[in-house]
Amino acid sequence: MTPPQLTPLVTVDVGGTLGTAHGPGLAMRLAEASPLPGARAREIMRSTLHTRPSLTESVVTEVCQALQIPPEDFPRDLRPAPFVLFPGTVEALERISAVATVVTLSNVTCVDADTDGLRALLSPWVSDFFPSCRIAHSKPDPRAFHAVAEHFDTAPEVLVHVGDDWNCDIVGAVEAGAKAVWISRGRKTPDESLVVDHDVHVAHDLAAAATHIQHLAARSNT
């Protein structure tokens, strides 16, 4: 059996890591409409909505029941909100792409996913896009990270994931066996023991994450 290819592979989260959507998308509207606590509503949507490739009536019914929303209140005919990159995002991705293959790995509904728009913003530095609605798994499920690694015939432990959500991005990456870089933007680390035990790198922003990844690549080449 041929061993997996040890190609440097970096996955980056999208919203909150590369930039932000200007305007509420489907998931945000549903969370606001649900009587459930926001964190619980988002957790439900990660498994019932974000992993679906299309929005069928059966999916709408299932999501509405889980979120306790009347089906007639389900938002329809929505378009993806415009996505605006944070300052320095392109420069940071350019530096990372010089030492590794860079792809996105994001939790997003099939309605909110705008792969063509992201490609226009991030090409040629980001070579592929893996929204949860494409791979049928959402972070922090380790299968989301493994799906990308398997696509590139790369071992999970070679993958470096960069993201700003502690649970979805960092805990998920660690449980998948990948390296993790947390974009803190000045926030306090939620779990210092995870940082120490699993060598999680804390970076203030994507530029700092890019520098760390460049150092990792340099060490791996020596």
Q: Which residues contact 33 (CB under 8 A, 6 or more apart)?
A: 67, 69, 73, 75
Whether the upstream peptide bond of residue 140 has omega within 30° of 0, thus cis, is yes
pLDDT reported for residue 78: 85
pLDDT reported for residue 79: 87
- Residue 167 has what DSSP assignment? I
Q: How far apart are the first and last CA of the chain?
A: 27
The DSSP-derived string for 201-216 is EEESSHHHHHHHHHHH
pLDDT by position in tens, the chain (length 222): 334 444 589 999 999 999 999 989 999 999 999 999 999 999 999 999 999 999 999 999 999 999 999 999 999 888 888 999 999 999 999 999 999 999 999 999 999 999 999 999 999 999 999 999 999 999 999 999 999 999 999 999 999 999 999 999 999 999 999 999 999 999 999 999 999 999 999 999 999 999 999 999 888 776
Two tokens, residue 212: 């760390």
Could you tell me whether strands 83-85 and 19-21 are parallel, antiparallel, or unpaired per DSSP bridges?
antiparallel
- Asked if residue 163 lies in contact with residue 17, where contact means CB atoms within 8 angstroms, the answer is yes
Q: Kindly give the residue spans of alpha helices, DSSP state H, lying in the chain.
A: 26-33, 38-48, 57-67, 89-97, 115-122, 132-135, 142-151, 172-176, 192-198, 206-220
pLDDT reported for residue 3: 42
| Phi, psi at 40, each rounded to 5° | -70, -40
Whether the upstream peptide bond of residue 124 has omega within 30° of 0, thus cis, is yes
What strands, in cross-sheet order, belong to the sheet with 159-163? 128-131, 101-106, 9-12, 159-163, 179-183, 201-203
pLDDT reported for residue 23: 87
Helix (H, G, I), strand (E, B) or coil at 83: strand
- Asked if residue 63 lies in contact with residue 56, where contact means CB atoms within 8 angstroms, the answer is no
**Residue among 130, 102, 94, 121 at smallest CA distance from 21:** 121
- Asked if residue 164 lies in contact with residue 189, where contact means CB atoms within 8 angstroms, the answer is no
pLDDT reported for residue 222: 64
